[in-house]
Chains A and B, each alone.
Chain A
Amino acid sequence: MSPNIADLLNVIFLTFLVVVAIAVSYVKDLIYAAILLGAYSVAIALIWLLMSAPDLAITEAAAGIGMTTLMIAVISKIGRKVE
């Protein structure tokens, strides 16, 4: 039995998700953390799309990629580095 393309994409995106989620906690600069969180949202939006939930994918793309990244970017301008 051969794996179909959706399963393969699922594995790729989930691996990317875990890698990015771990990377967020290791980055010192908050603006990089915000951008990595945007990448996390891209991956999870694509996963929603694969699971045939385009409604959630649109919401995730708008709220996760746009709003959260902008909000954290604005907050992180106040104090950029965390010790």
Chain B
Amino acid sequence: MRDFVLKRMVALVLPFVTMLGLYVIFHGHLSPGGSFSGGIITGLSIIAFNLVFGTERGEEKISERLMALIESFGALWYGAMGLVGILRGASFLMNKGAGVPVGQPGSLYSGGLILLITLGVGLKVASTMVTLFLELMEEED
């Protein structure tokens, strides 16, 4: 597993994989994909780093505690975005009816709260996948 070619290839490819995952998350309301697939792609890039460079280096980059914090933040973020509707005097998770500005159809900012909600779900999925993987790796030792 600790191969020179593998390490260099991963170092070359991984930034683009992370960018692709974030792209899929942010364009979830415009193009195929969404928070789940984008979150998995983003999580996969972190998992690949952990697998190739070892979990110690991965722990230095993004610790397990930070992963747990991001995981909780994603769920809380979803709830907070839902509360926007209530605070504006409409129902839970209300988007346009609560007076949230929705931009031009087809542009990146066109769904009101959908973009922010998708970001929260994507972060949650990514960190959950990484936490699952790290738990499995620990069980091995």
Tell me how far the C-beta of A78 lies from the nearest C-beta in chain B, rounded to whole angstroms. Answer: 6
Cβ contacts under 8 Å, B140 to chain A: 74, 77-78
Task: Tell me how far the C-beta of B31 lies from the nearest C-beta in chain A, rounded to whole angstroms.
Answer: 8
Residues in B with CB closer than 8 Å to A63 are: 36-37, 40
- Chain B residues near A (Cβ < 8 Å): 24, 32-34, 36-37, 40-41, 43-44, 47-48, 51, 129, 132-133, 136-137, 139-140
Instruction: Count how many pairs of residues, one from A and one from B, have CB atoms less than 8 Å apart in the complex.
Output: 47
Q: For the complex formed, measure the closest distance between the CB of B121 and the CB atoms of chain A, giving whole angstroms.
A: 13
Ranked 7 nearest A-B pairs via Cβ: A54-B32, A62-B40, A55-B32, A59-B37, A66-B44, A58-B37, A58-B33
A44 close to chain B: CB less than 8 A: no
A-B contact pairs, 30 of them (CB 8 A): A54-B32, A55-B32, A55-B37, A57-B32, A58-B24, A58-B32, A58-B33, A58-B37, A59-B33, A59-B36, A59-B37, A59-B40, A62-B37, A62-B40, A62-B41, A63-B37, A66-B40, A66-B44, A67-B40, A67-B44, A70-B44, A70-B47, A70-B133, A71-B133, A71-B136, A74-B136, A74-B137, A74-B140, A75-B136, A78-B140
